[in-house]
Chains A and B, each alone.
Chain A
Amino acid sequence: MLSVGLMMLTLLMLFTLLTPLLVPIDPLGISAVDKLLPPSLDHLLGTDELGRDQLSRLVVGSGISLRIAVAATALTAIFGIGLGMVSGQYPAIDIVVSQISDSLLIFPGVVLAIMILAALGPSELNVIIAVFVLYVPRVIRTVRAAVIEYRDADFVQAARSLGASDLRVLVLHIFPRAIGPTMVQLSLGFSSAILVEAGLSFLGLGAPPPAPTWGGMISGAREYIRTAPWLMIAPGAIITYAVLSLNLIGDGLRDMLDPRSRAAGQ
């Protein structure tokens, strides 16, 4: 499962990076004559209502999507792991961090993201912030739980009695025990980031037009679903593909790292 997911993700990245080298890409070029053309050799995925090349828009959109997801996941990883370790180790800090991160978990995901973007205004950076705020509590909780689990373990006490500092104990002795579940959370967070980004741009809260986003493309295609269904199918398919590949990676990691579910799967 893990290898299939990784392969699919690699293909998506190659598609994003290599397509501009193979076909002319012009996501913004408007042409009234060429509007709503079905797929052809000139326009492999057809054109939209303004005559813009769908394939170009899809490729550029996938760049935006991946960029946002990577940035949000990186932020989530850095702050989630850092805050999780600190709050697992120091009860005084834990009270503050856990209260804030738990109260963020109360909101249904997308609603919180909409609130944040409504407050900050639609832009690529703000989508990154919204996705980060949405997923950082999960990573904090995962890392914190591992720290609490191993805080009083014998091998941690042994390291402390050798004179190891808190930082050394956290980073070298405890955190490696948490890498597995943290990676699972991050990969699932990555796929959700793509989904949330698509959802937000569908609602017009993502990167503002004319930037081509997957969600924005679906949103624009709604009116032409009967006359030009390819407008909806291509971005829909690629979102499904991206999320599927990342969920396969997440599930694969979980199976690999959790001996219980590995035994159950066999």
Chain B
Amino acid sequence: MIFFESNLILYYFGIFFTLYIGVFYLITLFENREKIRDPKVGKLYTLSIIVPAFNEAKTIGKTLVSLKNLNYPQDKIKIIVVDDGSTDNTYEIASRFSGVKVIKKENGGKASAINIGLKEVGTELVAVMDADSFVTEHALWSMVGYFRNKRTMAVTPALKVYSPKGFWQGVQYVEYLFSVFFRKMFSFLNGVYVTPGPFSVYRKEFFDKYGDFQENNMSEDLEVALRIQSHDYKIENSINAEVFTVAPNNFKALLKQRVRWYSGVLNNLYAYRHLFGSRRGYLGIFVLPVTLVSIVLVLALLGYYGATLFISLLKNLYQIRLVSFDVMGIAQDYLANFSVLKYISPTLVLFVLTISFTVTIFILSRIYSQDKGKVFGSFLMYALVYGPIFGVMWITTIAHKILNLKIKW
């Protein structure tokens, strides 16, 4: 006999969808397991690294030190800092570094700062580096070999959270580790759709042919990736090229960041909607549609079951009132009569299976990216709260869109 609860149809769909995506990506990993290793470096390309900065005095020094320490011939690297009208001493700190060109401009946004830097670039490759991020010594060496393929226009790194402290950074640390895995899988499918700000490396000729970063676009890194895909070039990913970025450490800053990002996702996916469909391979028929369906599904699940759980909690609180708030008595009865058996149901078994899949992907991501961080506590926090946080971020983003609110940096 199979017990099937009709009021759990949405839950069952969510579980099946998650399992399907997980299995698909694990098959992708299996098919491409020989290609996990980065290709050997052939030619030593010349590279300019543009560091757009606005009030990054706290971190830019460390960023520049990490760039100077790249395990790559220093005579092949040019570093250009573009101070986008900082009001702190970002400019002064950057100017102290020898061999770093520092340009000061009036505040005009990150994309405008990058574009000023692009004008100075005469090298074959150009990287963009956020001023609150740090590369590992071997990152560039891991990435450069991908450019041997002439169709490769960009290579993205394995982006992780720098030295996570506290609840919010811990949750993001786990989130970024999942992204490390998925970005590599996207690259196997020619489906990478974002070149993140911290140390994505591009072929300069792409900007010469197709224009600079869009200055009116809040997610210029997403837009340029979609543009590369649109012109039928490749974006690769190096799972070994570790780059660390400072993540928001409180809810308000995180919400602001994610509203900006997610608005960018909506705007840019709409602008590049021609990328959907089988003509664009796995990008158009799987990666992009799955991204959208995931968002809708999470919101639907949270909405429906979140409301059900909330009503159930209210009912429990009301019933505690019926017994004169004898919480200790209720707790004692609960513990005295506790049995794991009473929670066993098809719903729970499916949930455990899905969590097992998620943990498997997480472990694979850590293995392939050689992650050494202490993650157990962070993973538990992530498992408990990420869904609702994700939902709140998206609901806020959609509210901003509907109410036409201004989105700030």
A binds B: no
Q: Which A residues are closer than 8 A to B by beta carbons?
A: none
